[in-house]
Structure 1
């Protein structure tokens, strides 16, 4: 047990350093330097800095400075993680109230107009190139009628809608069971995509802190905007890839889920009738 606990402690310490302390130290140092530059006090002339340069700083002073820097860095990391969770919630578009409904309605109207243009062109016998272009314009909004105020949120919502329409499967209840029958390599790929999305949200959390730090020194605000832009691009790519991988998992392994639940699969693949049977089994009347 002791070797296991020691190894676990090492891993937790490594994650603590990489996720909180190191980026937190960069943020705290940037704010400190920016503040001194703004106030025209760089380089500084504090007695401790002079003592440190001349080797006269006491061990207590050094320990206090190191401990204070670690605590500030950890607090900054925790603030960034909290901001990242808020960004995660905003990106997925689970907003209550009228604002979320209004934005979702606006996206739905745009999608409906794009779908009507596609259907009209299809009836008119337009070329495959025109149809592909119109489908691309529609899919840039969402792959299914939008229900969320954000594109990232609709990437996940469209996944559930498409699986329900094509297979009759309620993915909210079916996914946890499907996850248990997926091969290990498939779960690893899905996990990596999910972690990429979470890392993007955490990066956006740091961007929020740097934007706020722009009130101390304006270049930090510009850096924050750049970080936020990078995080949005990465987050959008990650969530779209995650939705595609989850839908592919249903396509390739949905029949295994049915077999595991004791539901016959005569054709060897998931069909709407089998999907509805799975839904009845996993929902249990709920």
Structure 2
């Protein structure tokens, strides 16, 4: 839901260029290795190097610029499609994929139901006769439960999508705050260390998605060197099945922690009274969300004294 926001706030120019250029350079160096493999070794490479060294200075500069532009353009292209590819990995698929979306979503719901039943049974065994195996099982199933949305209507067809959707919907359930509505304002009142931690976690997630994209593209070198295909497919599998979910979990945990610790700063900077207790949180959050989304003020709403923007709140 927040892909556009994260794309807009992504880091300094130098950092972004480094993140774009380095994978592109590695990719094209791998392509060069495949081409050398195709040319069958050192003799052909020597002849090509000999040809290059005998070109004019202008021709060599033009070839170097062409190579740099190719690296830069490919890096920019992959960076531009990283967010759309992440949305595909989350399960936001086009309408024509509706049958597959519904099938996999129902499968995710069935798995969640089975895990819920197993968790209840394991908790019952712990109360009667606790064992290390049941403790480990409960911890594992509780972790899975936390990584899924609460409402069946919020489920997506992929585990990464459900993990991030759970992080986006949890503030609404706990605090009444709609993440999509409040996040742009919330971002402005967060302390700088928190913003940097969120940006770093999101950047690492984007790098993992970018690695999957580069790995798919690397398979295109297989006509030159057959090992490119298994290497590319292996990297895709590792990125999609391991790296992207792991980094998505870190990012989701940081979103949770940010709302847990800093949510009252949003009330204070809007000159609203924060909820006085846990029972008041959902109603207060819904009022704040409605105010930001529709500009609707409840009749009894009053402003509090302005607070210091630099003050740290919890």
Gaps in structure 1 of 5+ consecutive residues: 1-10
For residues 193-232 of structure 1, the aligned pairs below 5 Å read 193-232=201-240
Q: 1:253 aligned to 2:262?
A: yes
Partner in structure 2 of residue 37 of structure 1: 37
* Separation (CA, whole Å) in 2 of partners of 1:201 and 1:248: 23
Contact 2:275-2:281 at 8 Å conserved across structures: no
* Separation (CA, whole Å) in 1 of partners of 2:101 and 2:27: 33
Contact 2:268-2:274 at 8 Å conserved across structures: yes
Partner in structure 1 of residue 300 of structure 2: none
For residues 1-286 of structure 1, the aligned pairs below 5 Å read 16=17, 18-40=18-40, 42-44=42-44, 49-52=49-52, 56-82=54-80, 84-96=82-94, 97-122=98-123, 125-126=127-128, 127=130, 130=134, 133-137=137-141, 139-140=143-144, 142-145=147-150, 147-232=155-240, 233-265=242-274, 267=276, 271-284=281-294
Cα distance 1:175–1:64, how it changes in 2: closer, same or farther (>3 A)? closer
SS in 1 for 2:227: helix
* Separation (CA, whole Å) in 2 of partners of 1:215 and 1:83: 25
Contact 2:156-2:162 at 8 Å conserved across structures: yes
TM-score normalized by the length of structure 2: 0.73
Q: CA deviation at 1:209?
A: 1.1
Contact 1:114-1:134 at 8 Å conserved across structures: no
SS in 2 for 1:216: coil
Cα distance 1:110–1:185, how it changes in 2: closer, same or farther (>3 A)? same
Gaps in structure 2 of 5+ consecutive residues: 1-11, 297-314
Contact 2:148-2:165 at 8 Å conserved across structures: no
Contact 1:25-1:69 at 8 Å conserved across structures: no
* Separation (CA, whole Å) in 2 of partners of 1:224 and 1:197: 19
* Separation (CA, whole Å) in 2 of partners of 1:208 and 1:45: 27
Q: CA deviation at 1:248?
A: 0.9
Cα distance 1:34–1:135, how it changes in 2: closer, same or farther (>3 A)? same
* Separation (CA, whole Å) in 2 of partners of 1:152 and 1:285: 34
* Separation (CA, whole Å) in 1 of partners of 2:131 and 2:265: 36
Q: Cα deviations across residues 246-286 of structure 1 (Å, max 9, x unaligned)? A: 11111111122223333323637772232222222222279
* Separation (CA, whole Å) in 2 of partners of 1:68 and 1:248: 46
Partner in structure 2 of residue 3 of structure 1: none
Q: CA deviation at 1:81?
A: 3.2
* Separation (CA, whole Å) in 2 of partners of 1:30 and 1:176: 40
* Separation (CA, whole Å) in 2 of partners of 1:253 and 1:14: 27
Q: CA RMSD, aligned part only?
A: 3.1
Cα distance 1:106–1:153, how it changes in 2: closer, same or farther (>3 A)? same
Contact 2:122-2:137 at 8 Å conserved across structures: no
